[in-house]
Structure 1
Amino acid sequence: MTKTLHKVDLELRPAGKLGTIIVAGSLLAGCTNAVGVTEQTFETTANDGGSAYYAQFANPLPDDPNYFPVAVWHESLMDAQDAVTDRSFGINTYVELTTESNPTFAHDAGSYVLSSTPQSSLNGFVLPDEVDMWGKSGEGVWTGAWPGEAPICEPEESRCGYTVLEETLAKAPAGAMVYANFGKGVTFWGDDEVGTHFTSTYADVVSADNYWYTDPNICDKTEGGTRFEEPRDLTESECRLAANYGHTVKQIRDYIQPAGSKPVWGFVELGRPFSDEKLPTVTPTQIRAAVWQSLIAGARGIVYFNHSFSGQCASQHVLRDCDEESSTAVARINNQVSLLAPVLNSDTAEGILSAEGAVNVRVKVYENHFYVLAGSAQATKQTASFNLQCVGSTDVEVLNENRTLHATEGAFADDFADGNAIHVYKMPITNCAAK
């Protein structure tokens, strides 16, 4: 994790210190001004891995600030039009392709491919999915079998997930970026040591897929409820909440050692990724909120689970095959993310924002502006207030909402209608200039 110290010139002020405040579980501290000192400083933290992270690998993903990974999981590319269609939805990356797919179609469309097929022409290598759940934590003997084929470990009751990853990793092309996705073994069932080992040891980019809106079991005390010291079932309003997608990203980021050393990507479902017809289908509003909560939590990419196993449209290609209204909405979300890619790829300002309300926040610094990403952390309506240093009295643009607020000496407030409410604020840095 790289931190940069910025110096800021201010007028002479009396002594004072902004108190600390809890914002959705995070401790934010203000700056200190000493008597007679006319210079104030604030720190910015680089994104996990740093801006040039991908460049170290063979045939890498771009380090272009205008590129932000928006991917689909295990898609097929049977002809050139498939890749063109996916691009129209804002998809620029594939994390795994079916064996019969032609990755050339993706490259011709300007997209990138990570695959478990060890080809040096691809942009990364994908390790087996959710090994933490079916191989479990351990260094036992792997039989070479996959889930549903035969016993995984030898002896059958032993644990061999670490062995699965080690043996598969040996097949990766030299210098390739390695990607791994984990599941409930890391986020719910294992202890911190297990989580750190899985996320820190094998891959260069990691994610975890917890489907908070649609999973029938995730609210149980043995899953989502394990976050408490005394595990308990989550209430519906605690569980079916966009902020939990950010919680998953933060949990994985917290496991990784050294801290901030590699990117974490967020994972969001489309459609209904379970076969039970009684389960809900995720809505466009929920998808948008889950994506932005992941970004607020520090995700450096987004992966969509683009398969739906029940409901009105059971398909392996939800964006291509299913409800046009939903696909259009996802395309709009991805376009907003793409337009803000330089902002999302910029540094995060630390210790300059205080907030009152159940909100998750992240402050980005880009071209002498602050961008405050804010998402509700509670299911019910609320008004949250913000106080941002180095802003003064100025207009605050609320991006993608066609409205403007006003900050008075850096203070402003806004309504959050429900647990899916997301606002992105843009304002100039007026009271101080970074040197």
Structure 2
Amino acid sequence: MRRSWVWALSLIAGLLISGCTGSSGQNTPHFATTHNDGGTAYYGQFEDSLPEDPNYFPVAVWHESVMDAQAVATDRSFGINTYVELTPDSVPQLARDAGSYVLSSTPKPGINGFVLPDEVDMWGKSGEGIWTGAWPGEAPICEPEGSRCGYTVLEESLHKAPAGTMVYANFGKGVTFWGDREIGTHFTSEYADVVSADNYWFTDPNICDKTEGGTRFDQPRDLTETECRLAANYGHTVEQIRGYIEPAGSKPVWGFVELGRPFSDETLPTPTPEQIRAAVWQSLIAGARGIVYFNHSFSGDCASQHVLRDCAPERSAAIAATNEQIQRLAPVLNSVTVSEVLTTADGVNGLVKAHDGHFYVLAGSAQAAPQSAAFSLQCTGSGEIEVLDENRMLSMNEGQFTDEFSDGNAIHLYKVPISNCDPGH
């Protein structure tokens, strides 16, 4: 019996090393695939959680109010299918009745997940001190005053989560800029089942400083405006959070993008629809498994708690178009990720998905300057490839093709037939 096991293992190892063997007896090259963070059926392990339907991809708004069915219908017309946090007077069942999903810090019938206090890493900070129960601006947070109790805040808040419910937490600069890797890992790994971090690269007046965005360098320095106000930085935030989580890839990370002005600084403009789309797709390219929009604006021409509903209809329509594209490509985004088949220039970020006999190459500019970027894609041949939603085709020669990226907001999505390769084992 032992000899049979040894033989079988040796045979399997030989096949894995030599490649997949096709029906013709010839070795067929194969490409390596990995599941999205959390693996398959992640949400299904929780009570009344988000759906496992491959056609569902979370596109959410943060801290919205749902008081009537019309509000939900309006949000759904913009492509919003999920709410992350609701005002206390909201009625979650209204969202559920319309086919949307709700994560909330207020346990009520109809919620699909529990939300922990926001940005505890910034106001509670890293530590297990005594929490006074106070919130920012009310009174001293920790006891003794000035100590650190953020871990305690999260631990005590978890007691309010209904049993078996998925838990969500959003973090801020304490994780992404001010803390070390140990702190980042503790916050993102210990308390919640889905995590995110909100760094507003387009609108934060302080984020370019060496004490914030500039901490990415071994020797921190101020970022130039060109380096800082770049859509690719939203992907950097997602990558940073994904890199902190232990075990690696064990839970989904969602991206966070602002729709208006989260700050009262009038010197910074409102993000354009082009910037918002680029930030969203850079987050997805970096591995985000959901998108959350900060839907509030505290300055500018339209100060509102409901940017999509209240401000510039043509702008909201453009954002809705981005969300429609995400939902249409949900089966692709939910499919396996392919590694080691794409080579491209340093000035482009890329992700490859495999779905229904095609590679989907998601590519976004990593620099503000225009560029002509060359791509090399294994397991493909020659012919024309489709550039999705741009009404154009590109010529590919033995897996090689080139495309133009006009600026830092340039995003291109390519659909390429797979040839002469099988999925990896």
TM-score range, shorter chain: over 0.9
Contact 1:343–1:364 under 8 Å retained in 2: yes
Aligned residues: 407
CA distance in 1: counterparts of 2:118 and 2:276, whole angstroms: 22
Counterpart among 249, 270, 287 of residue 238 in structure 2: 249
Deviations, residues 105-149 of structure 1 (Å, cap 9, x unaligned): 101111000000123531000000000000000000000000011
CA distance in 1: counterparts of 2:171 and 2:185, whole angstroms: 12
Show the 5 A alignment for 1:214-293: 214-293=203-282
Residue ranges of structure 2 left out of the alignment (5+ in a row): 1-15
**AA matched with 1:57:** F
CA distance in 1: counterparts of 2:312 and 2:32, whole angstroms: 45
Residue of structure 2 equivalent to 1:29:
none
CA distance in 1: counterparts of 2:28 and 2:404, whole angstroms: 34
CA distance in 2: counterparts of 1:324 and 1:192, whole angstroms: 42
The reply to whether residue 345 of structure 1 matches residue 301 of structure 2 is: no
- CA-CA distance at 1:8 after TM superposition: 5.0
SS at match of 2:256: strand
SS at match of 1:328: helix
CA distance in 2: counterparts of 1:315 and 1:9, whole angstroms: 60
**AA matched with 2:102:** V
**AA matched with 1:186:** V
CA distance in 1: counterparts of 2:27 and 2:55, whole angstroms: 36
Counterpart among 164, 188, 193 of residue 182 in structure 2: 193
CA distance in 1: counterparts of 2:133 and 2:148, whole angstroms: 13
> Which stretch of the first structure deviates more once superposed, 298-307 or 103-112?
103-112
SS at match of 1:186: helix
CA distance in 2: counterparts of 1:60 and 1:69, whole angstroms: 12
Contact 1:51–1:345 under 8 Å retained in 2: no
Q: 1:120 to 1:178 in 2, by over 3 A?
A: farther
**AA matched with 2:277:** R
**AA matched with 1:387:** S
The reply to whether residue 127 of structure 1 matches residue 116 of structure 2 is: yes
- CA-CA distance at 1:408 after TM superposition: 0.4
CA distance in 1: counterparts of 2:164 and 2:65, whole angstroms: 25
Residue of structure 1 equivalent to 2:379:
390
CA distance in 1: counterparts of 2:366 and 2:345, whole angstroms: 12
- CA-CA distance at 1:432 after TM superposition: 2.6
The reply to whether residue 63 of structure 1 matches residue 52 of structure 2 is: yes
SS at match of 1:282: coil
The reply to whether residue 310 of structure 1 matches residue 290 of structure 2 is: no
**AA matched with 1:283:** T
- CA-CA distance at 1:295 after TM superposition: 0.1
CA distance in 2: counterparts of 1:395 and 1:357, whole angstroms: 24
**AA matched with 1:238:** E
SS at match of 1:426: strand
- CA-CA distance at 1:272 after TM superposition: 1.1
Structure 1 residue runs of 4+, over 4 Å off?
5-10
CA distance in 2: counterparts of 1:192 and 1:239, whole angstroms: 22
SS at match of 1:246: helix
**AA matched with 2:208:** C
| Alignment TM-score, normalising by the size of structure 1 | 0.91
Show the 5 A alignment for 1:36-435: 38-119=27-108, 121-434=110-423
CA distance in 1: counterparts of 2:104 and 2:423, whole angstroms: 42
| Alignment TM-score, normalising by the size of structure 2 | 0.94
Contact 2:344–2:376 under 8 Å retained in 1: yes
Contact 2:30–2:421 under 8 Å retained in 1: no
SS at match of 1:60: coil
Contact 2:30–2:422 under 8 Å retained in 1: no
CA distance in 2: counterparts of 1:400 and 1:148, whole angstroms: 47
Of Structure 1 and Structure 2, which has the larger fraction of its residues in helix? 2
Contact 1:71–1:94 under 8 Å retained in 2: yes
**AA matched with 1:374:** A
Between the aligned residues of both structures, percent identity stands at 75
The Cα RMSD (Å) is 1.6
> Which stretch of the first structure deviates more once superposed, 218-227 or 114-123?
114-123
CA distance in 2: counterparts of 1:68 and 1:77, whole angstroms: 21
SS at match of 2:85: strand
**AA matched with 1:423:** H
Residue of structure 2 equivalent to 1:21:
none
**AA matched with 2:283:** S
SS at match of 1:207: strand
